[in-house]
Homo-oligomer: A and B are copies of this chain.
Amino acid sequence: MQNIQSYIKEHKDRFLNEIIDLLKIPSISADSSYKDDVLKAAASIKISLEKAGCDTVEICETAGYPIVYGEKTINPNLPTVLVYGHYDVQPPDPINLWDSPPFEPVIKKTELHPEGAIFARGACDDKGQMYMHIKAIEFMTANNKLPCNVKFMIEGEEEVGSANLATFVKNNQEKLKNDVILISDTGMIANDVPSITTGLRGLSYVEVEVTGPNRDLHSGLYGGAVANPINVLAKMIASLHDENNHITIPGFYDKVENLSDAERAEMAKAPFSLENYKKALNIEAVYGETGYSTNERNSIRPTLDVNGIWGGYTGEGAKTVIASKAYAKISMRLVPNQNWEEITELFQKHFESIAPKAVKVKVTPHHGGQGYVTPINSIGYQAASKAYQQTFGKTPIPQRSGGSIPIVSLFEQELKSKTILMGFGLNSDAIHSPNEHFGVWNYLKGIETIPYFYKYFTELNN
């Protein structure tokens, strides 16, 4: 019987080829024209789970894209790990900024990934990270080393708000029963600074539409005399932050947890170079809420960002037009205790209230989710920490992430179990951006670390 290290060595090329095949499928859940590809990705995951040794694998239909469920039960008296991941990906726009086509994966070396990284949409978020778990199970079943039961729940709507996962979870509590939930959909600080994510931000995502005149107008004949929806939208967006970059929506901060000075001091110990951060983004200065550090701004503080804006003439050259409509997509990252539905409602009310009478405003909520904090004294966290110690030779740092996996707080509520966020990507892997990639080293290190989690989790449960 092999150990995981030699198994990886032997099967490395196949492990890479398999993830590359999966990355070739443009499973973009946000764009309905890719529906067939999203379904193809689900079918592919089903086959992978079967090959990895799951006893039962099914494609569970939902009102949207299906959830791939798989399980391997070795003994009902042993603990059960539920693995969650997603097979859908973000749209690749802006496509012209990719150095290679987003759905034609290539392996290239980078400064941070001297052993090469797989460049493709979804490489890190989340196909690559999700697939590590399937390969880890393959190792354990093939070598009779699976110490407990395992269940998989891989969905296809994470990038569009997991709208149908909640219903599935609520309706399948017995089927999904578990002792711990394991997710790899986050990052770690650096390849030599392993970390485990202990907090996630919540999210409220809305779209706004500002309508002025009932048709596009000539800016000479009407300019200055009617409300220009783009100018008005800019004014409304601008007013959502004050001069200290505090969000001005009444009630927005009411439930925000304020960390103690001691907690903030603890956070500040994580290795961070502002110079490197600015250099990596080619910016002269960071920008954010007065009174908070960069790491605090993107983890323990809520935000409001415009993710997209459009209106009027955006083609080549000039067109002297006053647009009838202007639009923006706006998302708010929330911290634990902020309720996303409440925040969405506060936004909607406030945004409508600040519109001048000369325009009409429509706010359409897209989706959202709660923030989450996991305790570091749980068996799950301890098992994960020991697994990292085994494979990285270092104790991982508990770290709050600025990202959101809205479904995590729902899991806790419905399934009464804690989630452990074992992420192996890096922040610089450009998830949601052009040239997304995932280190080959990271991919294999994930496959190596996961079996140890199962081992220690089962042992600590005895």
Contacts and interface: CB of A to CB of B under 8 A. Distances in A.
A353 to B, nearest CB: 15
Interface residues of A, number: 105
A351 to B, nearest CB: 13
A312 B309 contact: yes
**Binding site of A, secondary structure by majority: helix, strand, loop or mixed?**
loop
A218 B403 contact: yes
A294 B238 contact: no
Contact of A432 (B30, B32, B319): B319
Given A224-B289, A234-B234, A356-B285, A217 B432 contact: yes
Contacts of A223: 298, 303, 305, 331, 333, 402
B358 A402 contact: no
Given A239-B238, A283-B227, A287-B358, A306 B312 contact: yes
A329 to B, nearest CB: 6
A366 B318 CA distance: 7
Contacts of A128: none
A262 interface: no
Interface in A1-55: 29-32
Given A216-B97, A231-B237, A286-B226, A432 B305 contact: no
B220 A404 contact: yes
Given A217-B433, A318-B205, A298 B32 contact: no
A203 interface: yes
Interface string A129-157: 00000000000000000000000000000
Interface stretch (A87-95, A173-181, A386-394): A87-95
B357 A284 contact: yes
Nearest to A312: B308
Nearest to A431: B218
A213 interface: yes
A214 B282 contact: yes
Interface in A307-366: 307-324, 326-329, 331, 333, 356-360, 366
Contact of A316 (B31, B161, B224, B237): B31
Contacts of A221: 187, 298, 401-403, 427, 431
A358 B403 contact: no
Contacts of A59: none
Contacts of A285: 227, 356-358
Q: Quick one: copies of this chain in the complex?
A: 2
A233 interface: yes
A225 B306 contact: no
B219 A309 contact: no
A230 interface: yes
A319 B30 contact: yes
Given A234-B309, A318-B367, A215 B435 contact: yes
A366 B319 CA distance: 10
A228 interface: yes
A207 B284 CA distance: 23
B402 A298 contact: no
Given A224-B301, A239-B238, A307 B219 contact: yes
A288 interface: yes
Contacts of A286: 225-227, 358
Given A30-B315, A323-B308, A218 B433 contact: yes
Contact of A319 (B203, B307, B314): B307
A286 B284 CA distance: 41
A201 interface: yes
Contacts of A90: 319, 321
A256 interface: no
A445 interface: no
Contact of A322 (B31, B227, B307): B307
Given A213-B282, A234-B238, A315-B30, A309 B309 contact: yes
B366 A317 contact: yes
Given A216-B97, A234-B233, A430-B215, A224 B309 contact: no
Contacts of A313: 91, 93, 307-308, 329
